[in-house]
Structure 1
């Protein structure tokens, strides 16, 4: 497919990743969408992909993006598919972490382990850096490329069952700042979007998610929950030329929820 600049979305079959793909598709942005879904879920997902493909050039790859072999295989396929094209934006929207409690209970007899922590921090914390390093080493980044990760209020607040993900979000933000500094001279910017509490499939896995939703509704200054489309709008803004001087930032996209 002959296009100069592509957006690569890791974790794009639901939630904020899919919402971003829809936003960018409306702008005719060519999209590469990486997801990992079972065959049983693909009928509904494929309907979403078909809708995207009716608006823009779309490459979808159903593969494990969280292993070294998986990453290299995906990048090789992308390079074959886009030819001389380059990655203008990388959005890391993979939400795969362990939500065990720190303390054993009758419902959850096994508490969070060091392996649980390690995997969660790897997948949701520094995996974004591994993609940046490999895209850079292959010369696949476009000039003035944008790297975007997604964080949450869990970077500072403690929620039951969220300890490992909270640690991963802090790691992600730290790594993003380092990418901003060390890759900046190569024209690669890195920023983090901290979304408000958003009703997504990933949130539903958190044991206390109903309480989190109600709390967010009550304290948000604008009187509603954050929507995936709000985050998609922010990603879109960060990919525009007018955002070329935003680097190493944490952008709150929550209607002011973090203030209350």
Structure 2
């Protein structure tokens, strides 16, 4: 059954960039109020604040919070605010689109000038998996305790092809994405009795600030543009449109999946 989003709330982690930013706008255009969490400094913070105002001009409420998504204190501070803003109901849509981690190899390597690039450290690996993987679980735990995950809620987590493939310099993030996908499966089962759907969204190659930080991303972008059956790369708007469409159903039967939004890219890579 189709359920309009107008007047409901969405909680978006990573709202100031990439998939989170595009999805916030698409949901706002559908009438959904936005609670956004981001972690930016100086100019980035100002841009995020301006974007919240832009969303508000669409006729919805938009409240952005500049907080470390992985910090326990951030959850302690924001969960009560979420309760107040949503009048104790909680968000209908939750999107975990967090791209913050270490990009390197697991083992020491040689760069083009024969200088050694050290492999990932325990601190870097732990931080990357915690921020991009485990933080979803911690937020859902606290929201469930506060009774702010209503029946019919849709939870989405942004993963990537790197969760199952080897990309140069992507090893710690690959581990985080694999962890995130495992959490999606378990959360889907544990939240099923509550009528809550949990899915991972695997976008095709999309030019975002996060992608451009990956070593060799220029070659990856060119390759995927050439082979995509749709004749172009995936856009953030493609992902946002899919999330809005999936959020408009009252069914919780589509759950525990990794859903590709890539124009068929994964079929021909």
TM-score, structure 1 length as denominator? 0.94
Please give the alpha-carbon distance, in whole angstroms, between the structure 2 residues aligned to 1:66 and 1:108. Answer: 31
Q: Which moved more, 1:41-50 or 1:179-188?
A: 41-50
Contact 1:101/1:108 (<8 A) preserved? no
CA distance in 1, matches of 2:167, 2:102: 13
Runs of 4+ residues over 6 Å off in structure 1? none
Deviations 1:87-139 (A, max 9, x none): 11110011111101232335663211222221111111121111111100100
Determine whether 1:67 maps to 2:75.
no
Distance of 1:118 and 1:108 partners within structure 2? 22
Measured in 2, the distance between the counterparts of 1:182 and 1:49 equals: 33
- The aligned residue for residue 168 of structure 2 is 160
Say whether the 8 Å CA contact 2:19–2:239 is kept in structure 1.
Answer: yes
Q: Give yes or no for contact 1:4–1:86 (8 Å, CA) kept in 2.
A: no
Q: Output the aligned Cα RMSD.
A: 1.6
State the Cα deviation string for residues 134-189 of structure 1 (Å, max 9, x = none).
10010011221111001111112111110111111111111100001111101221
Deviates more, 1:67-76 or 1:16-25: 67-76
Q: Which residue does 1:199 correspond to in 2?
A: 207
Pairing partner for 1:101 from 97, 102, 105: 105
Provide TM-score, normalisation by structure 2. 0.91
Equivalent residue for 2:26, pick from 16, 23, 26: 23
Does structure 2 retain, via aligned residues, the 8 Å contact 1:9–1:92?
yes
Structure 2: distance between partners of 1:182 and 1:194: 22
Unpaired runs of 5+ residues, structure 2, are: 1-5
Count, aligned residues: 258
- Report the alpha carbon displacement of residue 45 of structure 1 after superposing the two structures with TM: 2.9
Tell me what 1:89 maps to: 93
